[in-house]
Structure 1
Amino acid sequence: MSTRDKIVAAGRRAMLEQGYEGTGLGPLLASIAVPKGSFYHFFASKEAFAAAVLAAYAGQYRTQRQALFAQADVSPLARIERHLLQLEQDTLAEGNVAGCLYGVLALAAPGLGGELRGKLNEVFACWETDLAALIEEAQQAGEVDAGLDPREAAAHLIDCYEGTVIRARADDPAAAFARFRKFALAALGAGAKGPTGAPLS
């Protein structure tokens, strides 16, 4: 692993565990035995560093998401459910985290510069776009209420997920994620009609 990649990986861990504002560059670099001079060789500032961490994190999850969403042998609604399950598994696998990195940076957004806030908005929008396309596919299959706006529904699911991650830190994580999946899927399917036009039970 290159020095830059080591710093980015350490930044991911630190920001997920301590939040953006709680991540100090000194302790982070000391934990991986990298001098500050090397850090500033790669990153002009802490915000530029956070942008690199965000880009790596978002790229990993978009690749995973697109592979799952492309599984044409699985129904669209089942793919949405698998996506929600994957989010849960990935979040819990991170251990003692402050939340999804998107949410972690969103909490710090009032104090961030415009460029980093813009990148954060871009990754949220990208997630919404991917999920909205799958919701629209599920509508065409009669699995999701055709009256829903796919983009709004996708944004709502993401908002609920970010809130679930916060609640999971304070309470029973399994119960928090189970509630999220149950009500998210129920809301999508409410009013949906199957291929014959009959309401889905």
Structure 2
Amino acid sequence: MNSKKVLVITLSSVLVVIALILTTLLIVTGMLNKYYYSNVLKSISFKHTSHSDLDKGSKAEIGHLGKVTFLVGNSKVKRLRRSKWKKLTFGQHLSRGDSLRIGKDSKVEITVKNGEIITVKGFKKIRIDSSTLLMSRKDSVEEINTGNKREGGKISRLTGKEEKDRETSPVSAIRSNEPKKENDKKTNLKTRIGG
């Protein structure tokens, strides 16, 4: 009887070990299949069959024209064909069609592929219009630290209010523009005499 109990315990433990090994193998093969097929699908490029101008120009839109190399303050970026503004981050690449919204006391420096630096300060909304990331002189939105070479690209200003610094006069330094608030309330001081 003891030998039967030992045999049953041994067989049941062997079956449990085999079941654990099989479940582990199934889980591992499932993970490998998922990894393999996800990489295979990533490597396959789906190309559009239409020959519109949008498809022809898509290579220029995908390429990165510049990179944010200095960022102070609150600035946002909106990608081409996107509706939401997202926070601009240090090291972010900029492409054709991207729009930038620079905060009130913000400064952004964009380094172009050829090493030129474009500095954008203050409250501005700009859009990258062409495949070369340079500022045109007539817009004069920012300072440009570039060489003498000028190309045909430009960054144009979007619509938006530009906040200008308020000028002060000798009178406004003494008196404010807000109406005077008079304090008509009487002070209620209570003193306690005696005890």
Q: TM-score with structure 1 length normalisation?
A: 0.23
User: Which structure's CA Rg is the greater one?
Assistant: 2
Greater relative CO (CA pairs within 8 A, separation 6+): 1
Greater strand share, structure number: 2
Greater helix share, structure number: 1
